[in-house]
Amino acid sequence: MDGTTGDRHGRVVAALDGASLRRHTTGQTILDTVDWTVRAGEHWALLGPNGAGKTSVLRLVGATTFPTTGTVEVLGHRLGRVDVRELRALIGHVSTSQRVPQDLPGHAVVLTGHTGSVQPLWKKYDDEVRERARALLAELQIKELADRPYGVCSGGQRARLLIARALMADPALLLLDEPFNALDLPSREDLVDTMRHLALTRPRLATVTVTHHLEELSPALTHALLLREGRALTQGPITHVLTTEHLTTCFGRPVEVSRHGGRWLARSGVAGWGEGAARQ
């Protein structure tokens, strides 16, 4: 998938126009006049050092916080002029910090995505809704988790359950806040495959993924936004953004970026590192 996919679809899914965010108690600037547009079919990575403002951007487009200045539009609605409770129901959220009852079986976890609730609201789930949840479990290759308590699932299994849960609302926008956190290598690769599958089977779905490591980026990602100290450093098609020069500026230390088979790698750019490693 190339970086023009979103332009072919054209429809704006989310847009920040001069959006700034300040902490009310201290006046600290968290985001500083960020301009950013996400279109249908685009898959974005948000990258930057800790404290750069990645999660804050996600909260703005997820309609869970409001800008101090500037504007934010999501799914055609401007924050401050729409009932955000209704808007949030149209946005898929995936975060390892989500509250999920540990004894809830996988099928029930996915069902709660239909009502946007922590606990299942059983009277709200007819046969069609229950079958949709089972179909999503099968699609994401986790149907064996239908009866397994969430608390005993692995990190990778939990991440895919949360994605299935988010897809119950058939969202136009899917936001993933560090979904790879604490995953081992097989679980990470399973999740990368899941993200590739979603890009192929849902061509109009837009996704935004916050992560710290280039190795976690799916080949399906089309665009990237680099943040530093609350400002948008650079953004655009992923191959134009994820360069040695841009990553070095973003993280404030020498970084070497390479790509192989559609996957990305970032290493310390200390001179002679590669030669030394090769001799070992």
Give SS3 for 163: helix
User: Which CATH number among 1.20.1260.10, 3.40.1010.10, 3.40.50.300, 3.20.20.10 corresponds to the domain 1-83+171-244?
Assistant: 3.40.50.300
Does the pLDDT at position 2 exceed 60? no
What mean pLDDT do residues 178-198 have?
A: 91
Q: How far is CA 14 from CA 44, 87, 106, in A?
A: 12, 12, 31
Give the pLDDT of residue 113: 94
| pTM of the shown model | 0.88
Give the pLDDT of residue 5: 40
Please, are residues 230 and 41 in contact by the beta-carbon 8 Å criterion? no
Rounded Cα–Cα distance for residues 273 and 96 (Å): 34
For CATH 3.40.50.300, the residue range(s) in the chain are: 1-83+171-244
